[in-house]
Amino acid sequence: MAAQRRRRTQKPTKDELLGYYKSMLLIRRFEEKAGQLYGMGHIGGFCHLYIGQEAVVTGLEAVAIKGDKRITAYRDHGHMLACGMHPNGVMAELTGRQGGYSCGKGGSMHMFSKERHFYGGHGIVGAQVPIGAGLAFADKYLQTDNITFTYFGDGAANQGQIYETFNMASLWKLPVIFVIENNQYAMGTSTERASSTPEFHTRGAAFEIPSEMVDGMDVVAVKEAGERAAKHCRGGGGPYILELLTYRYRGHSMSDPAKYRSREEVQKVRGEQDPIDMVRVRLLALKSVNEDDIKKIDKDIRALVNSAADFAKASPEPDVKELYTDVYR
């Protein structure tokens, strides 16, 4: 992953590193638990895990301010946890229960929180991208200082509507960061097999949108790139593209033939580039953090995730009356 290296502006503080560690570990443990609940039949349908990609949302959420919006596709659990949505509500949506963010009517791929400015959770590849530009259009219309983080995958990057959106966003100087989470695969298709130019960050050039390619496994690098992008957008400079090189450890969804890449490839990334290990090492290198501190965090997060799982199993299914509600307002 030969991402562009930039000089670090500032070394991250201990508190920053601890924050990243907790956020990423929460996502990792949550996703593992979701996988297990799926295995036990508590979760149905499609369930796309974010394991391996935790540094992307964690680094970018670190530059978000109050009122900033975010929108993504179906691989959305990490985004929701990172923006402060409660694990209970997310897990209960996965189990299709009343206590879920969509009262059980959306499921893994379709969750929202007005309060946290999380606009979904979209199941149609690429559809969230023009919608994200529309959120930014509203901020410009209302003259706020907010920006929208619009996430999409390397597979989605080949959708025509992305380029329609790049054009409008640049033309109208919309405050939107297009975050391309390049995890190297769209289901079983590697970027080389689907894209004539797999360097997705270059694709904004035709629309004069500035862009960067970033090591998406390094949360500190992500955060720094996010700062540059946010500064550009908030300053009225229009859209910005960040291509984050990342990797998903698990299958595309729970059922995945696992035939399109080797176990060695996965293990190599896990062993050498794991975003959470990287931060743990950094933390332990600080004299003020020791193994026990780390253990305590791990334990707290496991308790949080376990109670989310308990909540998600105990929450009742939606009342049958809910079948006919929320079709119209």
Partner 1 sequence: MKFEVLMPSLSPTMETGTLTKWLVAAGDSVSIGDLVAEIETDKSTMEVDAQEDGTVLELLVAEGSENIPINTPIAILEIDGDEMSIPASPPPEVVTEAPPKTSEVITEAAPKTPEVITEAAPPPKVEQPHGVSETLRTDVRTALRDAMAEEMRRDEMVFLMGEEVAEYQGAYKISQGLLEEFGERRVVDTPITEHGFTGLGVGAAFAGLRPIVEFMTFNFAMQAMDQMINSAAKTLYMSGGQMGCPIVFRGPNGAAARVAAQHSQDYAAWYSHIPGLKVIQPFSAADAKGLLKSAIRDDNPVIFLENEILYSHESDVPIDEDFTVPIGKARIWQQGNDVTLVSFGIGMSHTLRAAEMLRDIGIDAEIIDLRTLRPMDTATVIESVKKTNRCVTIEEGWPVCSIGNYVSSVIMQEAFDWLDAPVINCTGKDVPMPYAANLEKLALISPNDIVEAVRSVTYR
Is residue 47 within 8 Å of 106, Cβ to Cβ? no
Contact between 186 and ligand TPP (CB under 6 A)? yes
Q: State the nearest-atom distance from the C-beta of 248 to Mg ion, in Å.
A: 7
Q: Which stretch binds ligand TPP (CB under 6 A): 8-16, 24-32, 151-159, 270-278?
A: 151-159
Span near partner 1 by CB under 8 A; candidates 13-21, 31-39, 55-63, 75-83: 31-39
Our finding on whether 185 is near ligand TPP (CB under 6 A) is yes
Query: Does 112 interact with partner 1 (rule: CB under 8 A)?
Result: yes
Q: Quote the least distance from Cβ 104 to ligand TPP, whole Å.
A: 21
| 106 lies in the binding site for partner 1 (CB under 8 A) | yes
Structural tokens at position 314: 């105990």
User: If DSSP codes are grouped into helix, strand and coil, which group holds residue 178?
Assistant: strand
Binding interface with Mg ion (CB under 5 A): 153-154, 183, 186
Pairing assessment for the beta strands 240-245 and 211-215 based on DSSP bridges? parallel
Q: Of residues 84, 106, 123, 130, which one binds ligand TPP by CB under 6 A? A: 123
Task: Show the CA angle centred on residue 152, arms to residues 151 and 158, nearest 5°.
Answer: 150
The C-alpha atoms of residue 19 and residue 58 are separated, in whole angstroms, by 9
Closer CB to partner 1, residue 171 or residue 286?
171
The option from Mg ion, ligand TPP, partner 1, none interacting with 165 (CB < 5 to 8 A, set by class) reads partner 1
155 binds ligand TPP (CB under 6 A): yes
Distance of CA 39 to the CA centre of its chain: 23
What one-character-per-residue DSSP string does 18-63 give? HHHHHHHHHHHHHHHHHHHHHHTTSS-S-----TT-HHHHHHHHTT
Count, residues near ligand TPP per rule CB under 6 A: 13
- Which listed option, partner 1, ligand TPP, Mg ion, none, makes contact with residue 129 (CB within 5 to 8 Å by class)? partner 1
Nearest approach in angstroms of CB 110 to ligand TPP is: 12
Angle, vertex CA 86, rays to CA 83 and CA 90, nearest 5? 100
Token duo for residue 170: 């640049």
Round to whole Å and give the CA distance between 244 and 282.
21
Q: Coil, strand or helix: which one is 310?
A: helix
Least distance from Mg ion to the Cβ atom of residue 187, Å: 8
- Does the footprint of ligand TPP cover residue 122 (CB under 6 A)? no
- Is 154 a binding residue for ligand TPP by CB under 6 A? The answer is yes
- CB of 186 vs ligand TPP, minimal distance in Å: 3
Q: Does position 171 bind partner 1 by CB under 8 A?
A: yes
Q: Give the residue from 156, 167, 177, 285 showing the smallest Cα distance to 229.
A: 177
Question: What is the H or E stretch that residue 170 is in?
Answer: helix 160-171
| Partner whose binding site includes residue 1, from partner 1, ligand TPP, Mg ion, none (CB under 5 to 8 Å by kind) | none
Given the rule CB under 6 A, which residues bind ligand TPP?
75, 123-125, 153-156, 183, 185-187, 252
